[in-house]
Chain A
Amino acid sequence: MSQYDVIGTRAPRVDAPAKATGRAIFVDDMSMPGMLYGALLQSPYAHALIRGIDVSAALKLPGVKAVVTHKEAGLVKYGVSPARYDETIFCYDKVRQVGDNIAAVAAVDMATAVEAASLIKVDYEELPAVFTIEEALADGAPLVHDDYKRNISAEVHQEFGDVEAALKECDLIKTTSLKSKRQDCAFIEPQGCIATYDLSGNLTLYSSTQTTHYVQRSLAMALGAPVGKVRVVKPYVGGGFGSKASASHLEMAACLLAMQTGKPVKMIFDREQVFLHGRARHQFVHTMTTGVKKDGTIMALKHEAWLNGGAYSSFGIATVYYAGSLLGGPYKLPNMKYDGYRIATNLPACGAQRGHGGVIARSCWEQQLDMIAEELGMDPLELRLKNIMTAGDVTCNDLDMSSLGMKECIEVVRDASDWKNKKGKLPQGKGIGMACGFFVSGAGFPIYRSETFHCTVTIKVTEDGGTAIVSTASAEIGQGSDTTFAMIAAEGMGIPLGMVRIESGDTDFGVDLGAYSSRQTLMTGQATKQAAENVKMQVLDALSKELHVPVEDMDIKKGYIVFKKDKPDLSALKTRYIKEHREWTDNPSLDDELSFREASRIAFFTKGTIVGTGMYKPPELGGKFKGAAVGTSPAYGCSAQIAEVSVDEQTGRITIEKMTDAHDCGQAINRTSVEAQMHGSMAMGLGEALFEEVKFDDKGRLLNGDLAEYKMPTALDMPPMEALIVESHEPNGPYGAKEVGEGNIMPTIAAVLNAVHDAIGVRIHELPLNPERVYLAIKEYREKNAKQ
């Protein structure tokens, strides 16, 4: 039997009733008295000088209340990483991508705002533009930003161990590459916000965001307001996956318009704007050289990566670091060299997406490891097991695997998929492939350098002890974090889940860095646990004084006080409680156990409102080298996955027949929630493997900026998925828990690539695996074989 009452169950989501009835309020469902509507004027050119902006016609249009440009917004540089603040709220000297923001209008309705924006005259002088990595690096190429020489917006050079020396000792050295395409997060709810500004100077932004804290700080910095005067509130959010993890121009513009007009201003992206400002997955081009011994021992990895970053840096520095650092495990790898380059181009800026930076690198390497296993005559699964890290291992780049059920995950998927009877034994056209991966449970450091707590949580008990209200600025964006924290709080206080109410996503509730880098379960979870235990101690402390029983001789379980030794006489306490609830029909009897409600009521008499607080900051983490901050984490979750596919060799069409996934999430807080994350991750990974690609024309304009032409998985594409939870105990996690949101996307693409090879013998080194690419690869493979 579980030692826990709430943790590890399959409790329904706390937001389920609201979402099942259509009552969950998203930002576009909100309105306010006197609310205005805002629209952006965006650049039609990918690269152009701004010679002049004339807003007079827009201002004259009836119904227009304000027009703002860089003149009103100022030129404060902001962005994600302070080392690369390279954006202003509005462009002033030039535009760097189609969709770059020139101005914003507030008007009485959306149609008027859009019309007014179209009346703004901008005098552009078009400049030559660069769209590909090759174009951007060419001699004499125009610079996207003058500061980024050769258009390199960030570069990383790291070496751990001695790669060249190690390669000399290897029996087999293999070099391969993988090229991916830009992907979009494609959440179903477009970003939107409502900004309000009162005459006392309080700015409040309701926004579809993953990171209220970073938005609050960015607004305060760019608009020149104290942080305490800026409040960011997140209503229900319709998915994020990375794109909603930083302040957007939409949010900045809405706040500016609200400050100018003194009225609430609502702004919502249309779907094309989501694609233009999505800041999702970069395009990656990886080349890797791996050296192994005859027995399969991995000796060294030499890795070069090129990222097409688009017009602004956004998360890009972290992205290019992650692309290297997340190869340090989960295999024992003593020598690793990494050279990564993020290139600025005149395409829309890229940022973070689920599995930040690591997904394509992982895909490239895991396909290569399969090729190595094949050449060595080894089962690729055995090759992985031979090199696998276990708990306590530290990677060559100082990532401490404080818990790691990677080996168990491999064994679980091997057995569940019947790997041994299928690998290499399926009929032509059918194949099975596997891969592994791991991911951080929260970035070890905030995005800006700071000693800040990563999260603070308070729990307030209502005066009757009936409800404990958990307040956290963390972001429930669909992943289930509210449910997770409500469960942790209930367990920590020793009360049923039904007695906990959670309110989240509001900067007034404290600091929380938000939903990114799979950090909330571990970090906000720790702060919630601490706050809950703090509440419990306060209640027991008050009780101890009343009953003269030492605190350590008492506990709270399932909503009742547990007396570990002799049960004291409770009649006086119970009588006091019953006396002040005279004529109430649900009073406890004198013989009942003492409930949390009664005890909390007694505690209230002496202490006032019981408020428990908790906070979390990661312990000191390893790595003193440049860039060590990216990849270090208090814990790492890991996954092994097996894909079974069939390939139609006439058309090149791949069908995924089945996915089997095992993930080590530490202690599962809510088992169904863990499985739900595993399913969602696999679906996103399959989309990237098979279909997804944001396309542009030769002027940098979107070709498929809508959900019809941007191909992502639908119900018909999805195979049965088996999600198998492997539990370890993570010493740094709350109740031993760690991440599940992103680790599962790491192996998916490679599992498919390896399965395709098992099916038809063809290796493909470019994504997505759409029928055309697969068909041509088959054709090329056959022509090559025919010649031999």
Chain B
Amino acid sequence: MTSEIDVGQRTDTAGNGRAGGRRMSTGRLGDQIFAHSARGSGVVLLAIMAAIAVFLIWRAVPALRANEANFLTEQEWNPNATPPVFGIAQLAFGTLMSSFLALLMATPVAIGIALFISFYAPRRLASGLGYLVDLLAAVPSIVYGLWGLHYFGTKMDDVGRFLNDYFSWIPLFGGDSVGGRSLLTASVILAIMILPIISSITREVFLQVPTANVEAALALGATRWETIRMAVLPFGRSGMISAAMLGLGRALGETIAVAMVLSTASGISIHILKDGGNTIAANIANSFAEAGETGRGALIASGLVLFVITLIVNMGARAIVARRKEFV
């Protein structure tokens, strides 16, 4: 689709070039303008990425120098103390844990929604439903935060207690001081927030499945579900992974909703029902205002870590997608 638009624009510019010139022209000027502007956009993107990385490193280094603890393994975050002691371990753990759980909950539901809208729902219902899912993406994250803090969190309090009472033999659900402002609550809210992006991209991917493949499966005597399994899901595999990764990217970076829901407590704990936990982004939002010189540097250093985590996640996703490339 993008390439079609590109071609359209190119001929357009070429046409303008011809109209401007007196002689017959093949429109090479238009071609060049287009090529340069496209290249320019690419370069600007790289420059922005580089500028962000340089800024983060430049501001982070002094704080990291002053740090008395090992930045990667230390769990405490006291950059404003003298001497400053802070580390990323707990924050990175909370970030990865909550995002991973969110992805785990959101992906199956999102794919289910996309499948339902694309293949099962009657057409009139399908378009309305698709619109509704997209609308979910338009809810500001502060609203999710408020809702999570004042309504959903209180409900999750009971859910947490229930899980803790009956399933505490599962390490994740063990521990005490169970409450609604836990990593689990944050994960569920994150899951709701990343649902629309995963679902709408997956739906786009399903729309790309060639009719010929679907008909081939049907003509072999496949039921609807078998057709989906045979022609749709394998074809959409890389697209679905990309969609999930975009969702994960959003979950990793989500700030304000998580900052509002979690009641900050220190220390790594795998007990996700426990009140507390923290993430990199939420920590930055909560502590930036009152941080001193070293404190800000330390927060920027944590931002750098978030940047790197996101980068690794994306590269991982690309590797997965590329592995079976010859088949799609």
Are A and B part of the same complex?
no
